[in-house]
């Protein structure tokens, strides 16, 4: 096999494409992992809060929307859910 300029260029382009693919994939997987962890912790805190605040009828529903809200915003999202519940 001869290594002319087009073969070397093709190998370099393929190597760069593989590098970019794996770099972006790890960034995306890190984002998804943090999203799932924050959402799960948020739902855990909400379930404990619901158990403690049941006497005051101050419960927040545990569903996919509260999971997404806590997953995206984290602790400020949880506080915002509590504030919204207190207002309405």
For the chain, domain boundaries: 25-87
Average pLDDT over residues 76-86: 88
- How high is the pLDDT of residue 1? 57
**42 CB-side CA count, 13 A:** 29
- 21 to 15, 32, 38, 58, 79: CA distances (angstroms): 10, 16, 26, 47, 37
What DSSP designation does 53 have?
S
Q: How far apart are CA 69 and CA 88, in angstroms?
A: 18
- How high is the pLDDT of residue 23? 75
- How high is the pLDDT of residue 3? 64
- How high is the pLDDT of residue 43? 86
Among 41, 62, 67, 35, which residue's Cα sits nearest to residue 51?
Answer: 62
- How high is the pLDDT of residue 71? 86
The fraction of the chain above a pLDDT of 70, given in percent, is 97
Q: What is the torsion angle, in degrees rounded to the nearest 10, for the CA atoms of residue 34, residue 28, residue 68 and residue 47?
A: -20
pLDDT tens-digit series, residues 25-65? 777 778 888 888 888 888 888 888 888 988 888 888 888 89
- How high is the pLDDT of residue 67? 87
């Amino acid at each position: 096999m001869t290594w002319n300029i087009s073969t070397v260029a093709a190998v370099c382009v393929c190597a760069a494409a593989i590098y970019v693919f794996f770099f972006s994939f790890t960034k995306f997987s890190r984002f998804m992992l943090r999203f799932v962890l924050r959402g799960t912790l948020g739902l855990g805190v909400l379930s404990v809060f619901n158990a403690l605040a049941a006497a005051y009828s101050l419960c927040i529903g545990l569903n996919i929307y509260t999971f997404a809200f806590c997953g995206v915003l984290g602790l400020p999202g949880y506080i915002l859910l509590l504030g919204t519940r207190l207002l309405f």
